[in-house]
A and B are shown apart, each in its own frame.
Chain A
């Protein structure tokens, strides 16, 4: 069963426009959710995690347990935000760490 879904393979927005990358998960317990980003020719790196409720590079994500979602948002997209974004779920007390299929964000000038 696919635990993490990201419905959009590609999302294109113009610079300065708001952006929302969708992530839904399936897990009945207490999930730990993360967003990872992979810029061109760089390694996969952690962007943010729900437990810290932080804002990184202007991005925020709120865990909605009722909708089982963890959407990533930024009010004003920048060209340097263009990258692959992966939502990830850790569950079973850390014994499983699975990733979604990813969304490619393209910010147009």
Chain B
């Protein structure tokens, strides 16, 4: 089956610019996650969607980050304006309904490596 698709793979921007990342989850997966992975650290959950609703966005810096999943399929994550400390890999993952205890966990995309200069 096709995996989680993300684009772009790499992005370099100057601080204070804006940037957007796109994610297409595995077909049929209701839950979508965005993670930020700073070099040398584990993935940090930014936001979790269930279909087109937000389940958890407690760690999303809402003054500059926003995310949407309008039709419950694709999702975009935006940063505006970017700061140097936003340099990281942004990972998208998807899974079946998060409340289904039979599910196998999350499947990850390749990630987008963002460098803010």
Q: List the interface of chain A (C-beta within 8 A of B).
A: 4, 6, 32, 34, 36, 43-46, 49, 51, 86, 88, 90, 93-102
Q: Using an 8 Å CB-CB cutoff, how does the interface string of B10-27 with A read, 1 for contact, 0 for none? A: 000000000000000000
Q: A94-B98, A95-B56, A97-B33 are known contacts. Are A34 and B42 too (CB-CB below 8 A)?
A: no
How far is B35's CA from A19's CA once the two chains are assembled, in angstroms?
A: 28
A95 B45 Cβ-Cβ under 8 A: no
Chain B min CB distance to A59 (Å):
15
Q: Taking the complex as formed, is B114 at the interface, i.e. its CB lies under 8 A from any CB of chain A?
A: no
* Number of chain B residues close to chain A: CB under 8 A: 27
Q: How many cross-chain pairs have Cβ atoms below 8 Å apart between A and B?
A: 60
Contact of A95 with B43 at beta-carbon distance under 8 Å, contacts A34-B105, A88-B105 already known: no
Q: A93-B99, A95-B55, A95-B56 are known contacts. Are A44 and B104 too (CB-CB below 8 A)?
A: no
A12 to B100, CA, bound (A): 37
Q: Which residues of A contact B103 (CB under 8 A)?
A: 94
**Which chain A positions have C-beta within 8 A of B107?**
45-46
Please determine whether B105 and A90 come into contact, CB atoms closer than 8 angstroms.
Answer: yes
Q: Is the interface of B mostly helix, strand, loop or mixed?
A: loop
Binding site for A on B (CB under 8 A): 3, 31, 33, 35, 41-45, 48, 55-56, 91, 93, 98-101, 103-111
Q: List 21 A-B residue pairs with CB atoms under 8 Å apart, sorted by A's residue number.
A: A4-B42, A36-B108, A43-B108, A43-B111, A44-B91, A44-B93, A44-B108, A45-B107, A46-B105, A49-B104, A51-B101, A90-B105, A94-B99, A95-B48, A95-B56, A99-B45, A100-B42, A101-B41, A101-B42, A102-B41, A102-B42
Q: Which residues of B contact A90 (CB under 8 A)?
A: 98, 105
Question: In the complex, which residues of chain B have a beta carbon less than 8 angstroms from the beta carbon of A86?
Answer: 42-43
A43-B110, A99-B42, A102-B41 given; 18 more Cβ-contact pairs under 8 Å? A4-B42, A6-B42, A36-B105, A36-B108, A44-B91, A44-B93, A44-B108, A45-B108, A46-B105, A46-B107, A51-B101, A93-B99, A94-B101, A95-B98, A96-B45, A98-B45, A99-B43, A102-B42
